[in-house]
Every structure is written in C-alpha cells, then in structure tokens.
Amino acid sequence: MVKVKPLGDRVLVRPLEAEEISKGGIILPDSAKEKPQEAEVVAVGGGKIKDGKKVEMTVKVGDKVIFAKYSGDDIKIDDQEYTIIEEEKILAVVGD
C-alpha cells in the first residue's frame, strides 16, 4: 500500500500498462509506446474549497479512470511509477 496522501483535489494514479504489440502484431519498443491514458486510482485528496464550500472528490480508490494525455506529474515510489493529477484532468471513470 502506498503511503502518499494527495492534497486538495489531486489524485494519485497508477498508469496501466501500454500495449506492447500493435494491432498489426508488431512488437513496440518502449520509445514508441504512447503514454498510458488509463489508470487505477490509488489515493485521493480531501477535495478543494470553492466559494467557501468544500467540494468532495468524485473518484475513489480502486476506480479505473481515463485522463488527459501528458497531464500530471510522474513520480516513482518503491520502483513503481505513479502520476499525480488534478481531478479535473480526469476525463472519465471506466466500468462502474
């Protein structure tokens, strides 16, 4: 379990692996893979204050989400890659 608590309206996500084989069956090297846009929510902040009122987070730990390309900050914790993004950069929750 990750012991990181995002602040405000930030979300800690673990990007899901990018496809290693193209639709045509070609194995892609790491340099050719696109940055993942789908991730699993690992931790969420407490929400933000807007117009003097607390706005609750709409995503929760365990949600699979799609987020905007190149948004957030990539970090590494215990050899695992994570991204911290603002909740507004999350485009959709997958499944549910």
Domain-located, residue 72: yes
| Global confidence as pTM | 0.78
Q: Which domain holds residue 90?
A: 10-17+34-94
Across all residues in the chain, what is the average pLDDT?
83
91 vs 22, which has greater pLDDT?
Answer: 91
Is 24 inside a domain boundary? no
Whether residue 53 is contained in a domain is answered as yes
Q: Which CATH number does the domain housing residue 85 bear?
A: 2.30.33.40
How many domains does the structure of the chain reveal? 1
**Bridge partner residues of 92 (DSSP):** 66
Lowest mean pLDDT among 7-11, 25-29, 49-53: 25-29
Q: Kindly tell me if the per-residue pLDDT of 50 is higher than 90.
A: no
Greater model confidence, 3 or 76: 76
| Burial class of residue 18 (count of CB atoms within 10 Å of its CB; 0-12, 13-18, 19+) | middle
Q: Which two tokens stand for residue 74?
A: 């990539």
Q: Which residue has the tokens 């090297």?
A: 29
For residue 27, is it within any domain? no
Residue 17: Cβ-neighbour burial (10 angstroms; 0-12, 13-18, 19+): exposed
